[in-house]
Amino acid sequence: MSTILRTDNLTKRYGSLVVTDGVSLTVNQGELHAVIGPNGAGKTTLINQISGELSSDGGRVWFDGKDITRLQAHHRARSGLLRSYQITSIFEEFTVLENATFSALAARDHVFSFWKPMLENVQGRGFAEEALDAVGLAHRASTSASELGYGERRQLELAMSLAAGPKFLLLDEPMAGMSSQESASVVQLLKKLKQRYAILLVEHDMDAVFALADRISVLVYGKVFFTGTPEEIKRNHEVRAIYLGEESAD
């Protein structure tokens, strides 16, 4: 499989504190690669560096064959590297469809027309409707975003990412704060999406991670401690001791 995302020795420091320490990882086309680790391991900082929202003190980021290390976040997004936020960032006063349409128009300059109502843009609305259908929110298209429950808001946020035309999805804790039923629905959704997009997933729900990931990287004190398949992660005594909270048998 070809590599779509690669980081080489990515580093972020705050004074003497090294938050990400030479992180190198790859994500292949059609792969869901999960990043796990204890609180404070540097997972969200890593996502911020990859998305371009946080500059790096060292290392490089390659996406779709190009060095994007110096690209700003909005340019990375327009190249197809889309992030879904840990805290929802939807527009409360818009309907579900308007939120998704706005995202589609903002990401695609060629369909943006300031002088005409958003929903009259046939192409942008089409992208939005397709995204809402993909996440199971088509039936809520005319609902105000302010009326959505927590799980539905996370679905809408994901739909906004899809409407923007991604090649790659950065997902930071998509199941945070969800009930077990809501989490199960998102797992099923991500199983479908991983057939269409490469995904880098940061998630604390280990059942979800093991159900979804093709490979998993364990981040400890800002370093990649181990990368392997879910089965290799489960069999690694040191990983189990560090992250899964189990005593090593050795």
Q: Kindly tell me if the per-residue pLDDT of 56 is higher than 60.
A: yes
Model-level pTM?
Answer: 0.88
Mean of the per-residue pLDDT values of the chain: 89
Predicted local confidence at residue 53, as pLDDT: 93
Q: Is 72 exposed, middle or buried (0-12, 13-18, 19+ CB in 10 A)?
A: exposed
Q: Is the pLDDT of residue 247 over 70?
A: no
CB-facing half-sphere around the CA of 20: CA atoms within 13 A: 28
- Cβ atoms within 10 A of the Cβ of 15, count? 5
Query: Residue 90 and residue 156: Cα distance in Å, rounded?
Result: 8
Terminal Cα distance for the chain, rounded:
35
Domain architecture of the chain: domains with CATH:
1-80+167-250 (3.40.50.300), 89-165 (no CATH)
Q: Is 90 exposed, middle or buried (0-12, 13-18, 19+ CB in 10 A)?
A: buried
pLDDT tens for each residue of 75-120:
998 899 998 865 557 899 999 999 999 888 887 655 555 546 778 8
